[in-house]
Amino acid sequence: MPAKFEVYKDASGQFRFRLRAANNEIIAVSEAYTAKASCMNGIESVKTNAPIAEIEDQSE
Cβ atoms 54, 27 nearer than 8 A: no
Query: Could you tell me if residue 16 is left (phi over 0), alpha (psi between -120 and 50 degrees) or otherwise beta?
Result: beta
Q: What is the mean pLDDT of the chain?
A: 96
pLDDT at position 1: 82
User: Mean per-residue pLDDT for 27-53?
Assistant: 96
Position 19 pLDDT exceeds 90: yes
Confidence bin at 24 (pLDDT 50/70/90): very high
pLDDT at position 60: 87
User: Mean per-residue pLDDT for 22-47?
Assistant: 97
Q: pTM of the entire structure?
A: 0.87
- Domains recognised in the chain with CATH numbers: 4-48 (3.30.160.160)
